[in-house]
Amino acid sequence: TQLLEQSPQFLSIQEGENLTVYCNSSSVFSSLQWYRQEPGEGPVLLVTVVTGGEVKKLKRLTFQFGDARKDSSLHITAAQPGDTGLYLCAGARRGAQKLVFGQGTRLTINP
């Protein structure tokens, strides 16, 4: 059983469309991180959200942490081929000393 469930697992859309990726759990996290991984490379941190209800923007990417700190979403506006990659969410729990990763959403943006 995955502690962090990401959906959808796969998403293929056309350039210019909008999309939302979800990261859900029944557990409370002290913070949540989003990473993007491109083929042949390791994951790269995009953002960390800490406060329930927090919204962070990174250009066309909008990240939100749920009020109860159990879920998060990533919204991409006007997707571009450069957004293609594996998006991973990772939750940190109080008292635990390792991050828990979701299975990832593999996103493909077609030109």
Partner 1 sequence: KAGVTQTPRYLIKTRGQQVTLSCSPISGHRSVSWYQQTPGQGLQFLFEYFSETQRNKGNFPGRFSGRQFSNSRSEMNVSTLELGDSALYLCASSSQLDNSPLHFGNGTRLTVT
Gap between the Cα atoms of 104 and 22, Å rounded? 10
Q: Which of 7, 24, 48, 62 binds partner 1 (CB under 8 A)?
A: 48
Q: Which of 23, 36, 54, 102 binds partner 1 (CB under 8 A)?
A: 102
Gap between the Cα atoms of 66 and 52, Å rounded? 5
- Write the interaction track for partner 1 spanning residues 72-91; mark x where CB under 8 A is met and - where it is not: ----------------x-x-
Q: Alpha carbon of 109 to those of 16, 48, 105: distances in Å?
A: 9, 24, 13
Residues that bind partner 1 (CB under 8 A): 2, 30-31, 33, 35, 40-45, 48, 88, 90, 92-93, 96-104
